[in-house]
């Protein structure tokens, strides 16, 4: 009886160990310039919302090295940053790329190899990155990331002239547009059907595909990948995109402003409503807002209304220096249209109805409550539709 009990206990402990082993992966790093005791922050990221689900602190266990075991039930997207790269109160970001992004699944061993000066450009090995095509794509991107960081450092040096800044801006904008890199990236994102890495790439490029393209991509995936975590995420996204196709009538929704004012889609019947999703420190949003103000002045009297939607309250930027707030933040909160902060109930409503994971996103709704247009910073495309409908 004792032998049977011992055998049963051993079996249970082995099963428990096996289950634990299946729900973790190992992250190891060899980073030149990293000192023992230095901190790194590992964020577990939800796609495609980019919400942070969890933050872990990793301490370098010796010079140039760290090792950390992470619990995960399925393939997950992560972002790893040096604590020293995180801006202090009142500072702008120290680096144009916030950290290293990677995906991992249970039982993986992922290796990060790089340098503290160009941490975001580190090379990844192991797990998904053992695939030759993926490793090639990721290695090229690491080289481009390093070039991007070098250009950004040159552009932001003190005493730069306008001409030199424009020069570096132009060079920086060209970095990721290399034809061979784009071709390689697209071949993985759109044609590899048996790897979850390809699906995460497709999900993160959500702004570049519509319902029909998403449906076709999903149908081409292998059965195993369809049933994977990100296969299921993609399937849900496609169903949401189907509801937002041009010509589809939107379900009624109610949003609440900071002042407690209720904004219902039904209240805008007979008018054209533009939903504008933005963030104050988003470069594209800062480019787009002045153009949108011009659109509003031109078409408001003809029946155009706008609701601005952001996840950030004005107070959330109190940590910034006054001159930064004045130049980049305050103009977004001083617009002549209604503003909604996407928290609490507002957040639930917006997540359910108005797929907007890339900023800025705009959606034009007709006076009958149908989707007329969805886009990003293509102001010319928006105006063509306004000219046609608001004569």
The C-alpha atoms of residue 338 and residue 334 are separated, in whole angstroms, by 10
Two tokens at 379? 């102001």
What pairs with residue 340 in β-bridges? 309
Give 2's pLDDT tier (boundaries 50, 70, 90): very low
**Angle at alpha carbon of residue 342, lines to 340 and 343, rounded to 5°:** 120
Two tokens at 227? 């049933």
Domain check: are 318 and 353 in the same one?
A: yes
Domain check: are 124 and 146 in the same one?
A: yes
Rg (CA), the chain: 24
3-class SS string, 237-294: HHHHHHHCCCCCECCCCEEECCCCCEEEHHHHCCCEEEEEECCCCCHHHHHHHHHHHH
Residue 105 placed within a domain = yes
| pLDDT at res. 18 | 45
Domain check: are 69 and 129 in the same one?
A: yes
The residue-averaged pLDDT of 209-224 equals 95
The closest alpha carbon to 77, from 240, 230, 288, 298, belongs to 230
The C-alpha atoms of residue 104 and residue 196 are separated, in whole angstroms, by 10
Fill in the DSSP letter of residue 118.
G
Residue 28 placed within a domain = yes
The C-alpha atoms of residue 151 and residue 168 are separated, in whole angstroms, by 6
Residue 11 scores a pLDDT above 50: no
| pLDDT at res. 20 | 45
Domain check: are 233 and 268 in the same one?
A: no
In the chain, the percentage of residues whose pLDDT exceeds 70 is: 84
Domain check: are 173 and 50 in the same one?
A: yes
Domain check: are 133 and 214 in the same one?
A: no
pLDDT, tens only, 165-211: 556 566 666 777 888 999 999 999 999 999 999 999 999 988 788 89
**Angle at alpha carbon of residue 59, lines to 56 and 61, rounded to 5°:** 140
Residue 18 placed within a domain = no
| pLDDT at res. 325 | 81
Domain check: are 55 and 161 in the same one?
A: yes
Domain check: are 31 and 172 in the same one?
A: yes
**Location of structure tokens 């784009």:** 182
Q: Give me the helix-helix angle, 211-220 and 229-243, nearest 10°.
A: 150
Domain boundary (212, 243, 274) is at 243
CATH of the domain at 264: 3.40.30.10
- SS3 label, residue 155: helix
Answer whether 56's CB lies under 8 Å from 68's CB.
yes
Domain boundary (243, 263, 284) is at 243
Domain check: are 137 and 184 in the same one?
A: no
**Angle at alpha carbon of residue 214, lines to 208 and 215, rounded to 5°:** 160
pLDDT, tens only, 150-163: 877 776 666 656 56
Residue 3 placed within a domain = no
Residue 359 placed within a domain = yes
Residue 339 placed within a domain = yes
For the chain, how many structural domains are there in total? 3
**Angle at alpha carbon of residue 52, lines to 50 and 55, rounded to 5°:** 145
The closest alpha carbon to 79, from 59, 58, 94, 62, belongs to 58
| pLDDT at res. 315 | 81
Domain boundary (177, 209, 227) is at 177
Residue-range definition of the domain harbouring residue 206:
180-243
Question: Measured between alpha carbons, how far is residue 182 from residues 34, 85, 179 in Å?
Answer: 32, 29, 5
pLDDT, tens only, 87-132: 776 566 667 677 999 999 999 999 999 999 999 999 999 999 999 9
Domain check: are 165 and 188 in the same one?
A: no
Domain check: are 28 and 145 in the same one?
A: yes
Residue 1 placed within a domain = no
Domain check: are 366 and 239 in the same one?
A: no
| pLDDT at res. 241 | 86
Residue 115 placed within a domain = yes
Question: Measured between alpha carbons, how far is residue 140 from residues 2, 127, 147, 153, 288 in Å?
Answer: 60, 18, 11, 20, 31
């Amino acid at each position: 009886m004792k032998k049977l009990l011992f055998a049963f206990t051993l079996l249970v402990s082995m099963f428990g160990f096996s289950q634990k082993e299946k729900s973790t992966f190992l992250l190891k790093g060899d980073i030149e310039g990293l000192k023992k005791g230095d901190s790194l922050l590992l964020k577990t990221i939800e796609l495609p919302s980019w919400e942070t689900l969890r933050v872990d602190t990793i301490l370098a266990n010796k010079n140039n090295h760290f090792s950390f075991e992470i619990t995960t039930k399925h393939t997950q997207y992560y972002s790893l940053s040096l604590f020293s790269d995180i801006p202090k109160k009142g500072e702008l970001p120290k680096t144009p790329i916030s950290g290293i992004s990677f995906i991992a699944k249970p039982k993986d061993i992922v290796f990060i190899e790089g340098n503290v000066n160009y941490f975001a450009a580190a090379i990844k090995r192991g797990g998904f990155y053992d695939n030759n095509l993926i490793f090639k794509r990721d290695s090229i991107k690491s080289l481009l990331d390093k070039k991007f960081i070098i250009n950004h450092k040159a552009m932001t040096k003190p005493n730069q002239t306008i001409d030199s800044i424009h020069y570096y801006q132009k060079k920086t904008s060209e970095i990721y547009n290399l034809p061979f890199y784009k071709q390689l990236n697209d071949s993985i994102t759109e044609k590899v059907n048996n790897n979850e890495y390809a699906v995460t790439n497709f999900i993160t490029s959500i702004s570049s595909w519509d319902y029909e393209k998403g449906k076709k991509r999903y149908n081409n995936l292998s059965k195993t990948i369809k049933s994977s975590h990100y296969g299921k995420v993609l399937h849900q996204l496609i169903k949401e995109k189907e509801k937002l196709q041009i010509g589809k009538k939107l379900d009624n929704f109610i949003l609440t402003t900071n002042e407690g004012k209720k904004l219902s889609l039904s209240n805008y019947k007979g008018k054209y409503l533009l939903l504008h999703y933005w963030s104050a420190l988003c470069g594209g949003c800062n480019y787009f807002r002045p153009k949108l103000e011009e659109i509003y002045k031109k078409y408001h009297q003809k029946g155009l209304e706008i609701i601005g939607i952001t996840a950030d309250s004005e107070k959330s930027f109190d940590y910034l220096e006054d001159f930064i707030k004045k130049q980049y933040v305050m103009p977004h909160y001083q617009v002549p249209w209604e503003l909604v902060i996407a928290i609490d109930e507002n957040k639930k409503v917006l997540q359910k109805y108005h797929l907007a994971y890339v900023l800025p996103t705009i959606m034009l709704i007709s006076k009958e409550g149908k989707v007329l247009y969805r886009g990003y910073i293509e102001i010319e495309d928006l105006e063509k539709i306004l000219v046609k409908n608001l004569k």
